[in-house]
Amino acid sequence: MRVWKFGDNIDTDAIIPGRYLVIYDPWALATHAFEGTRDEFAQNAREGDIIVAGKNFGCGSSREHAPLALLGAGVKVIIARSFARIFYRNAINVGILPLVCPEATTIEDGSTVTIHLEEGLIESNGRKLPIEPVPPFMKEIIDAGGLVAYARNLEKVETCIGSQ
Task: List, in sequence order, every beta strand (DSSP E) within 9-144.
Answer: 50-53, 77-80, 97-100, 113-116, 121-124, 127-130
Residues in the chain: 164
Task: Specify the stretch interacting with other proteins by CB under 8 A; choose among 62-70, 96-104, 112-120, 122-130.
Answer: 62-70
Q: Which CA distances in Å does 137 have to 21, 93, 110, 143, 147?
A: 29, 12, 33, 10, 11
Candidate residues 137, 139, 143, 145; the one interacting with other proteins per rule CB under 8 A? 137
Task: Specify the stretch interacting with other proteins by CB under 8 A; choose among 33-41, 102-110, 115-123, 126-134.
Answer: 33-41
Give the residues lining the site for other proteins (CB under 8 A).
Answer: 9, 11, 13-14, 17-19, 21-24, 35-37, 55-56, 59-65, 67, 82, 84-86, 89-90, 93-94, 135, 137, 146-148, 151-152, 154, 156-164
